[in-house]
Each structure stands twice: as C-alpha cells, then as structure tokens.
Amino acid sequence: MSAPHPAKATDRATLRDVARLAGVSEISVSRVMRGASNVSLDMRERVVLAANTLGYTPNRVAGALKTQQSNQVAVVVPSMSHAVFPEVLDGIESVLSAHGLCAVLGVTRYDPAHEINVVRELLSWSPMGMILTGADADPAIERMVAAQDTPVVQIMDVEGRHIGASVGICHRAAGRAAADALVDRGFSRPAYVGAWRERPVRSRLRREAFAGQLAARGAPLLATKIMDAPSSAPVGRAAVAALLEADPTLDSVFFANDDLAVGGLFHAMAAGLSVPGQLGILGFNGIPLGEALPIPLTSLATPRFAMGATAARLLVEGKATAAHRIDLGFSLTAGASI
Amino acid sequence: MSAPHPAKATDRATLRDVARLAGVSEISVSRVMRGASNVSLDMRERVVLAANTLGYTPNRVAGALKTQQSNQVAVVVPSMSHAVFPEVLDGIESVLSAHGLCAVLGVTRYDPAHEINVVRELLSWSPMGMILTGADADPAIERMVAAQDTPVVQIMDVEGRHIGASVGICHRAAGRAAADALVDRGFSRPAYVGAWRERPVRSRLRREAFAGQLAARGAPLLATKIMDAPSSAPVGRAAVAALLEADPTLDSVFFANDDLAVGGLFHAMAAGLSVPGQLGILGFNGIPLGEALPIPLTSLATPRFAMGATAARLLVEGKATAAHRIDLGFSLTAGASI
DNA sequence: TTGTCTGATGACAACGTTGTCATCACGGCC
DNA sequence: GGCCGTGATGACAACGTTGTCATCAGACAA
C-alpha cells in the first residue's frame, strides 16, 4: 500500500526539478525566483523558461521555515456578522495586499477563552504581525505574543491597556460628544439603547460617558434599554417601542450602533412620530445606509476602513510598538434625525 | 554585525529545548504534543511540564513542511464591502474553526488579473483547500490549482464551468422566479436596476432570465438601469428616481440586490408613492434590514451563511470534487413590498 | 605576466518538525 | 527457560528552501 519512499501526495514541482531541467543549481533558481541582483541574464532566462514549463510555484512554507518569517498577518476579530469588522478587514486587506502580505483570519465570537485558542492557533504559523480587536487582552495572549515577539496592533480602542500599538477612537469622548449633540439641539429627555449585553466592552464606555456628560449638562439619562440579542434593525425597533411605551415623554435616543438606530427610526416612522421633532435619533458608526433613509440618519461616524488600513500600515512599517497610539477620531454625520 | 551562527531572530522555544529540559528525545515531545497514543503517562507529564515552563508552541510551519499539509484554507472573495461576503465568510469560519482549521483571506476587487496573483500567493502556502467565488475561473487559476491538486470549492453559482465542487444557487432560476413573483401579483410594467456594470457576472444571468421569463409571461421588461457605482442604498434610490422620471408608468422594479432595493423603497416613500400599490419593489438576498423597514422588503433570500458553511464542510469531508454540485436554493421573503 | 578584484555560480548545512525503522524492556506463553 | 509479541522510546533522514561560504572565470591595473 505504501512504497518505502512514499509517493509524494502531490507532484508539485520543486526548486530541484526546475534546477535539473534548466541545468543549473537549486540555489540559482532560488535567486532568480526571488529576483536577486547578481544573476546573469542568460541564467535568468533559462530558469524562467524551465519554471514556466513545470508550472513551478515557490513553496512559501519551506521558505518561511528557513527565513523564520512569513508574509502572513494574523487578524483577530470578534465577529463577521457585525458590519463594522468587514469594513475594518477591507482596510487591512487593501494595505496588506499592496505589500504582498496576506491576512489570516480568526473569529473569537466575543468569547475570551476561545480568543486565546484562536491566537495560539494563529501564532503557530509565525505570522509577521498580528492585529487584535480591542484593548485589555488576556494575560495569556500577552505572554504568547511576547514569547514569539510578534508585533501587535490593537484596533478600535485607544484607551485601556495595550500590548502593542493601538489604532482607534476614544469611546468616552464619543459618548460625551453624543450627549453634547443632543443637548445642544435642545433635547432634554434622552434615552439609550444597546444590544447583546453590551459586548464588546467599549460600547459600555460610550454609554457611561454619555450618561455622565448628560448629567453634567443638566439633562440626565432617563432610560436605558440593553437588549439581549445581537444588534440589528428589528432589535433596535423593538427596543425603542418598549422604551416609549414605558415612558412616552422621552424625546431622544442614542444608540450603540446604526443598525439599532435604523430600527428606531423605522419605529418612529411606523408610529407616526416626527423625527427629529418628536423623537431625536442619534446613531453610532455612520454606515452608508444612513444617508439614504427617508430621514437621513445623524450618527457619530467612525473611520472603520482607516482603522484597518492604519493598523496594517503600522505593521508594514515596523511601527507596531506601544509607543504608537493613534486616535483617528470620529465626526457627526450631516443627517437630519436630531 | 552578524555572528557566524546568526542569533535567532526570536528565541522561540523548539522541540529540542523542551526535550532537553524534560530529559527525553525530541520525537517523544512531538508525540506528546500531538497526543499520540503510545506514550506513557510519566512521559506525558514530564513533557507537558517542560513545555509549559518554556511556553512552547509547536511551529506549524515546520510541521506543514514535513507533512506536506497545512490547516489553512484559502478563501478568495471579490470584496468585503458588499454585505454578502462577510456572511459567507462567517459561515466558512464557523465550520473551519470547529475543525481546527483557519481561513486565509484573498480579496480580488473583481479584478480577474489580480485574482490570479491572489490565488498564486495563497497557493504558495500549500493550503489544504481553497474556496473560490464564482464559476468560470481563469484557465491560469485552473492550472495552478491542478498543479498542486488542491481541493477547490466554488461558491455562489451552480451554473457555469467548475474546477471543483460547487455550492450556490441557480441565478437563472432566481431571475425567472422574480419575474413570476411580479407577474403573479399583477404587475405588468416592470423594470430592472443593477449596479457597478453588472459585476459580478452572475447578476447578469439573473437579469437575462428575468427579462426572458417576463417576455414569456407577456409582461416584457420595459426599462433597465445599470449604474456605474457599486451597490448601495443611495445608488438604488438614484436609479429608481431616474427610471421613474423617464417613464412614470413603470409599476415595479426588480433589483440586483437588497442594498439597491432599500434605496428604491426610500425613494418611493420620499416621493409619496404607495408601495406596493403604485410601485412594487423586489429585492435580492434577503438581508435582515429588510424586515425592519416600515414596509417590509420582499426579496429573494439567498442562503449566504449556509453557502459558506457548506463549502467549508465539503472541504473538511474531502468531498471537494466536481461530482458535488449543491444547489441550496432561494426563497421569497414574507415582505410587503410587492 | 602576475596579482587582485568583481560578479556569477555552486556546495553545504540548517530551519523545526515528523515518518520510518530500530531498539529495548517487559510479560505471558509453550 | 527460551521465545515472541507488545508497548515505549529513540536515531535518523527528509520535507523545500535559503544563508553562508567557497569557487571560478574574466577584467583590469601594475
């Protein structure tokens, strides 16, 4: 069943095959493939011809073993369902691919225990860098990363304890800005809607800062509704319906994200409430859909693509150290819902 | 500057280090790490202790080189911006992670030339399988994949020429179903809205089948608007506005996807057109947002998560061969927009 | 002519792991 | 008691590549 020298599973051409066909040494083929400078034109032509004939593709696994470095970047995100992370990933990818790197994906499902396994798994491939979501990583993760001294960039948050560089926004500042935006426009009976038991943690930071600033401005937060289900428009719609039933005098709502806010807006429209006249709606993230709504959604726009791109750029440029902490800021979109 | 034996870049512990510390051979450590059966309890304990002391993590690169197989699956998608692919990726990830595999991502930006490079790049890591988006892959891709005989699953489409297994839906059938749905409900003056010059190709298949079936049912397609920009609600809104301005007698629109359809619905609402009374709106994909709209969107729902999950499962189960062609079908959502 | 320098090419070992085979101790069986 | 099977352990080579050093031919100046 098995020969002494077990037939290779695949008959993928190797450096040796190309070298034999071209009548040169393996190392010369290697040099040609990597575009080394000290190779004669004749050699280059012979090798390229042979390589094409055999359909040779360099084996990066072997190369990575020898050189102790790969062109893979490990990317760890909590979820792909939430619209935010695909956009971040898009930003990461755009920079990585421009530098011949590629992303290896890990999804934690917001489970810290699982995250440790995911990181371990990804690290076992000796990636040239790692992008983690959120601050305050588990000590186990910190140890593993340190043991291989893999460069790390953490995204989303600029607050909290960071292992490596960080790229994101200040969620406390965002919460305060939301409060200011509402109060400045005359709203005085605000509420808050979140989802999924406030995962990730940074949404809680926003809510607390929001409540704090509201109190400071003399318009205290009157109601808070944190749903159990993950964020979605239907969930946001249900949350607002419940809030208004309990207290019809509420005049505005700040949402943990735009998915929820859109649902809230739909509830208002279906219930015949004028927006922003009877109910102000303020979202978070600034998704493209918002501006197409019958009443354009006002939202705190976050630079999701830029976060990913910046994080990747830090890795590429070798600046993934704790010294770099980049706050990309946020901005209020030109909506009409508050 | 450089020692004769260049100091290792990282001082990552190896099998040898663990073996020395535990006073056993490297191969025994390897066996323990992989949970081989023929290892004494004493040996196992000694090794685990040593490994933990050193913070040892197996080097998968070396392992993959030796065994000629990795636990990585290459996933090639055209874009991350479009909501469809994150969901597919989510499905893929959910199955892969359950089997200790991980996804390496490649994004083609709908550029066939770039796709070839992406595939080459990913293949150079000898993935245990590859998931491609769409049928009719470039011959160059077919050759590369064949040269390494990497198992391939192609998603989205069940029609067209396939390299390996395929998981998706029949887009022609979807186009016909859309036509039937409109005609069955009494619409007689239908239009079609697409975007981004009909990338990917499969959207064209739907449109053609839609037009063909409409003609067969005696309600020919009256207008078609293909936008240049990528799909989004604002683009869909603009498209519908343009169509109705050119021909106010149109009574229904089938959209290439829900992003566009939502925009169309918003236009109708803003323009004071009753839906579906004055304008029927039929989307494609069945995104969650649809059901939260003031007028729930009727759409042809596609099994995006299931497509990814099924594709990954085929790979895991070794069924990624052309013999497997899985049509996951679609269904009309319970909306109220047609 | 001779020596030296440069650029091209090759031989060799090593990266860290695992498959294969060999070795060894032990226990049960005839 | 000798034999054999079994289970545990180790030695060795190999996966495909690349860094290091050696070699060699040719150019050029002295």
Give contacts of A269 with chain B, Cβ < 8 Å.
Answer: 294
pLDDT score, position B82: 80
**CA of A284, C1' of D7: distance in angstroms:** 63
pLDDT in tens, B236-281: 999 999 999 999 999 999 999 999 999 999 999 889 999 999 999 9
Is 90 exceeded by the pLDDT of residue B307?
Answer: yes
Contact check, Cβ <8 Å, B105/A93: yes
* Average confidence score pLDDT of chain A: 91
DSSP labels for B10-79? S----HHHHHHHHTS-HHHHHHHHTT-SS--HHHHHHHHHHHHHHT----HHHHHHHHT--SEEEEEES-
Neighboring chain B residues of A60 at a CB cutoff of 8 Å: 124-126
Interface test with A, best of B5, B75, B107 (most A CBs within 10 A): B107
Residue of B123, B128, B155 lying closest to B315 (CA atoms) = B128
Separation of alpha carbons A47 and A71, rounded Å: 24
B89 touches chain A (CB under 8 A): yes
The reported pLDDT for the residue numbered B244 is 96
For chain A, percent of residues with pLDDT exceeding 90: 74
Nearest partner of A219 among A192, A246, A197, judged by Cα? A192
Mean of the pLDDT values across residues A159-174? 94
Nearest nucleotide to A59 (CA to C1') is D16
pLDDT of residue B292: 81
Contact residues on chain A for B104, CB-CB shorter than 8 A:
72, 102-105
pLDDT, tens digit, 9 for 90 and up, residues B97-119: 999 999 999 999 989 999 999 99
Closest C-alpha to B173, from B9, B12, B331: B331
| pLDDT tens-digit readout, B189-230 | 999 999 998 988 899 999 999 999 999 999 999 999 999 998
In this predicted structure, the answer to whether residue A9 has a pLDDT above a threshold of 80 is: no
Window A2-21, strand C contacts by Cβ < 7 Å: 2, 4, 6
Strand D and chain B: which residues 89-148 have CB closer than 7 Å? none
Residue nearest the C1' of D21 (CA based): B4
Instruction: Give the model confidence (pLDDT) of B134-148 as tens digits.
Output: 998 899 999 889 888
| Closest residue to A65, CB basis, from B65, B124, B266 | B65
Higher pLDDT, A7 or B192: B192
Secondary structure of residue A90 in the 3-state scheme: helix
Q: How far is A175 from chain B (nearest CA, A)?
A: 25
Find the CB nearest A62 among B65, B81, B269. Answer: B65
Token pair listed for A112: 């810290």
A291 vs B contacts (CB less than 8 Å): 233-234
Mean pLDDT estimate for chain B: 91
d(CA A216, CA A282): 19
Q: What is the pLDDT of residue B10?
A: 53
Tokens, residue B184: 């069955």
Residue A36 CB lies within 7 Å of the nucleic strand D:
no
Both tokens of B180, joined, read 């039937």
Cβ-based contacts (< 7 Å) between B 67-86 and strand D: 68
| Confidence (pTM) | 0.90
